[in-house]
Structure 1
Amino acid sequence: MCSSCVMLFNEKNGSILPEYTDLPTLQKGEILVKNKYTTLCGSDLHTFTGRRKEPSPIVLGHEIVGEILELAQNEPFYDLNGNILKAGDLITWTIFAATESDEFVKDKMPQKSASLFKYGHVQFTEKEKFNGGLGTHCVLKRGTGILKVPLSVDEKFAPIINCAGATAMAAHRLIDEIENKNVLILGAGVLGLIASAIAKQKKAATVTILDIDDTRLENSKSFGADNVYNSLNPIEELTAITSKFYKKGFDIVIDMSGSVEAIKTGLKFSATGAQHIWIGAVTPTENIEINPEVMIRKLLSIKGMHNYNYEDFINAVNFFEDHFTDYPFGTFIEKEFPLQETEKAFQYAIKHKPYRVLITI
C-alpha cells in the first residue's frame, strides 16, 4: 500500500479508486494522524448506493482510530479530558470539528455549528485531501474532540465508539429517567444493541428490541434485551409483552431503525407519559400522522437527536472503557479488508449486511 494516499469515491460512476498524494503541511491547530482502522457506517453505505448525497469526489469514512504522527508546532494540544496529546497516542475523535465561539457550540449542539466540518463528508480538493477514514492519514482540525482509546477496549472495535457509541449515548442523554422503566428499542443493529446495553447498565426494568431479522433479535439478548419482537409477526406478540407492564405500554421508545412503520408501532404501544427518542431517520422519508389529542391525553413527548455533542462522546468512551467486556461488542466486526480492497468491502457490506466491516490501513 502507498505511504500516503486516499481511496476516492466518485459518485458519477460509483468507483472507489486510490489517489496518491503528498501529505500537507500542518496549519496552526492541526494534528496529523496515521489512520489505523476505519469501520463502514450505514451512512457510508447510503452514500455509496446513492441513497444519501455527499459532495463528490470524496474520502468516505468517519468511524476512525489512528495514531498521532505530528502536531502543529508552538502550542500544546489536549484531549477532551484535559490530558496532553503527543505523538504515538492512539486516539479516536468526534466526527465533527466546530469553532468554540459558535453559538451552537455554547448551547451544547456543536454538531449543528455554522462552522461545522465533518470528517468523511467533505469534498476532496487540492486543499482538503486527508479528511476521512478511507485513507492512510487524516488531518484533524481545531475544534475536534479527541480522546485516547482506553486500554480495555479492543482497538479494532474502537472506531465504532465515535459514531454509533456516542450517538446511542446522546439518545440516553435525552431521557429524563430510565431506572425501573420499560424500554422499547426499534432496530437491532449496532445502534440498537449499544443502546440496549446502556439501558441495562442504567437499570431499566426491561428492554424490548423490535426488528425484522430473527438472527439479530436472538443476538440482541446478549446485549441486555429481555424481550424481542419480529415486527413481521402478529402484533399480538407485542401486546403479550406490554400486557405484563403496569402501564400496559413502553415508558421509553428509542428509534434506531429509521423505519416509519416501526416508529408508528412505537407510538401505538406508548405508555402514558412515554418519551420517544428518534435517531434513525436521517435520510428522506415519509411523514407520520400524530393525533394531538392522543399526545396531550397520554402526556407523550418526542425528541430528535442527530449525531451527538462532546459530552456524549466522552460518556461513550467512558462507557466502553468500563463495560467493553460485559457484552460481546467485539462481535460487531464481522469482516476485515485492507485499504486497497475498500470497494470490495463496500460490496460485501451491501450484500451481506454485517454489523460492521473493518478497513485495516
Structure 2
Amino acid sequence: MDQVTVGLTQAAVWTGSGIDLWDIEIPTLESGDLLVRIDLASVCGSDLHTVSGRRTGACPSVLGHEAVGHVVNVGDVTSPAEVGDRIVWSVTVPCGRCSRCDRGFTAKCSAVRKVGHESAEGAWVLSGSYAQHIVLPRGTAVARVPETMPDAVAAPAACATATVMAALEAAGALDSRRVLIVGAGMLGITAAAAATERGATVRVLDRDPERQDRAREFGACEDDGAPTDVAIDFSGSSPAVQAALARLDVGGRLVLAGSVAPGPPITVDPETVVRHWLTVTGVHNYEPRHLDQAVAFLHDTGAKYPWEALVEAPVPLTDLASVLRPTPSGILRSSVTP
C-alpha cells in the first residue's frame, strides 16, 4: 500500500449548527504518530448527543470515534503499527505519565485527549473518524483487525464492544450467574452475547420491544422479573438504574456504564447494601486490553451472531448530516464511508 505523506484530505466538521466539509492539509507526522485512511466509521450515540445539545464538546470539531481503517503512513519505527495494517484504535490518548496512568486508569488520564472530541482549530485537527484520514498521536492504543472481518463488524469494536469488555470485567466472573442488562442498544446487545459466551443466563430490558426482541438473537432469555446476581446498565436512565438496583440478590453487583450525562439521582439504602453485600461500580471508557479483547471476541463469534446486521449500510461523507439525528427504533448503528 502506498504511503500518503502530503496533500489534502476531506473531513466533515461539526460547526455547532451543522456539518461543513473542509479540505484539510495532511500534517507532517511526529514520532510515533500514525496516518490512517478511514474505511468505515459507525455513528455512536455520544455523537448524536453532541449534535442534539445533550452533550458539550469542542466546536468546530471532526466527530467520530468508532472506525476501522488502514495505516497509510507512520511517524517512525516507534509507531505501533506498519503501513498496510488494518486497525481499530482507542477513543482515549493518555499521557502515560500522570498518577492515574500509573494506577492503570489511562482512560481517565488527567491530560487525556480523545478521538473525535478535539477542536478542529487546535493542534490536532484530524482527530475524528468522520473524515478521509485521521492522525493517531503517539500513545493511542491500536489493535490489528483481520482482513476477513467486515468493516461493519470491526468499527464498533473501537467504542461499543471495548466498553462492553470493560463493563464485563467490572462485573466479575459470570459463569452460571444471572445477568440483567438494561438497555438493548449496541452496547446492551453486545453485552448479551458476551455474557452468554461467559456462561451467564442473560436477560435484557429495554422500553423498545423491537430491541428487546432482537436481544434474543444474541443470547438473551425472556425476563422473568426474578432477582439477579449482576445488573449492567447501559441506558443511563435513573429510574432504570433504580429498578436494576432493586433486582440485586444477596452478593449482587450493579455496573453502571450508561450514565454519561447529568440526570436525577437515585436512592441507595446503606442498610440494604450492608446486609445484602451489594456492590455498585462505574465504568467510563476502557483500557487498551479491552480493545484487544473486543477484536478477539468479534472474531471468535463472527459465525455465531449476526454482528454485521446491527450496522446500517454506510452513507457517503457528504451525507453525514442525514445520520447524525435520532434513528428509527430498529437501527442500532448508522455508518459513514469516505
Q: Give the aligned partner of residue 359 of structure 1.
A: 336
* Gap runs ≥5 in structure 2: 1-6
Q: Distance in 1 between matches of 2:58 and 2:137?
A: 19
Tell me which moved more, 283-292 or 317-326.
317-326
TM-superposed deviation, 1:152: 4.3
Identical pairs, percent = 31
Q: Does the Cα contact within 8 Å between 1:32 and 1:69 map onto a contact in 2?
A: yes
For the pair 1:149 / 2:181, whether they are aligned, the reply is no
2:52 is matched with which residue: 49, 55, 58? 49
TM-superposed deviation, 1:22: 1.4
Q: Does the Cα contact within 8 Å between 1:152 and 1:321 map onto a contact in 2?
A: no
SS at match of 2:32: coil
Q: Does the Cα contact within 8 Å between 1:170 and 1:308 map onto a contact in 2?
A: yes
Q: Does the Cα contact within 8 Å between 2:256 and 2:283 map onto a contact in 1?
A: yes
2:322 is matched with which residue: 338, 344, 349? 344
For the pair 1:5 / 2:7, whether they are aligned, the reply is no
Tell me which moved more, 51-60 or 147-156.
147-156
Letter of the structure 2 residue corresponding to residue 359 of structure 1? V
Q: Distance in 2 between matches of 1:33 and 1:165?
A: 21
TM-superposed deviation, 1:30: 1.0
Q: Distance in 1 between matches of 2:328 and 2:221?
A: 27
* Gap runs ≥5 in structure 1: 79-84, 229-237, 243-248
Letter of the structure 2 residue corresponding to residue 214 of structure 1? P
1:77 is matched with which residue: 79, 83, 93? 79
Q: Does the Cα contact within 8 Å between 2:255 and 2:280 map onto a contact in 1?
A: yes
Deviations 1:177-218 (A, max 9, x none): 2111111000111100111111111001x1110111111111
SS at match of 1:65: strand
Q: Give the aligned partner of residue 233 of structure 1.
A: none
For the pair 1:163 / 2:139, whether they are aligned, the reply is no
1:36 is matched with which residue: 15, 35, 39? 39
1:116 is matched with which residue: 112, 116, 123? 112
> RMSD value over aligned CA atoms?
1.4
TM-superposed deviation, 1:324: 1.7
Q: Distance in 2 between matches of 1:31 and 1:147?
A: 13
Q: Distance in 1 between matches of 2:257 and 2:122?
A: 35
Query: TM-score, normalised to structure 1's length?
Result: 0.89
Q: Give the aligned partner of residue 4 of structure 2.
A: none
Tell me which moved more, 316-325 or 101-110.
101-110
Q: Does the Cα contact within 8 Å between 1:335 and 1:356 map onto a contact in 2?
A: no
For the pair 1:22 / 2:25, whether they are aligned, the reply is yes
Rate the CA distance shift 1:41–1:170 in 2: closer, same or farther, 3 A: same
2:208 is matched with which residue: 207, 210, 213? 213
Q: Give the aligned partner of residue 93 of structure 2.
A: 97
Q: Distance in 2 between matches of 1:303 and 1:163?
A: 19
Runs of at least 4 residues off by over 3 Å: none
TM-superposed deviation, 1:170: 0.2
Q: Distance in 2 between matches of 1:179 and 1:276?
A: 17
TM-superposed deviation, 1:101: 2.4
Q: Does the Cα contact within 8 Å between 1:3 and 1:136 map onto a contact in 2?
A: no
Q: Distance in 2 between matches of 1:207 and 1:181?
A: 9
Letter of the structure 1 residue corresponding to residue 328 of structure 2? H
Deviations 1:83-132 (A, max 9, x none): xx221111110011112223222222111112211000001115322110
1:224 is matched with which residue: 198, 216, 219? 219
Q: Distance in 2 between matches of 1:132 and 1:306?
A: 19
Q: Give the aligned partner of residue 285 of structure 2.
A: 307
Q: Does the Cα contact within 8 Å between 1:58 and 1:122 map onto a contact in 2?
A: yes
Q: Distance in 2 between matches of 1:77 and 1:312?
A: 20
Letter of the structure 1 residue corresponding to residue 48 of structure 2? L
Q: Give the aligned partner of residue 255 of structure 1.
A: 233
Rate the CA distance shift 1:225–1:270 in 2: closer, same or farther, 3 A: same
Q: Does the Cα contact within 8 Å between 1:152 and 1:324 map onto a contact in 2?
A: no
Q: Give the aligned partner of residue 295 of structure 2.
A: 317
TM-superposed deviation, 1:157: 2.1
How many residue pairs end up in the alignment?
A: 331
TM-superposed deviation, 1:312: 1.1
SS at match of 1:144: coil
SS at match of 2:268: coil
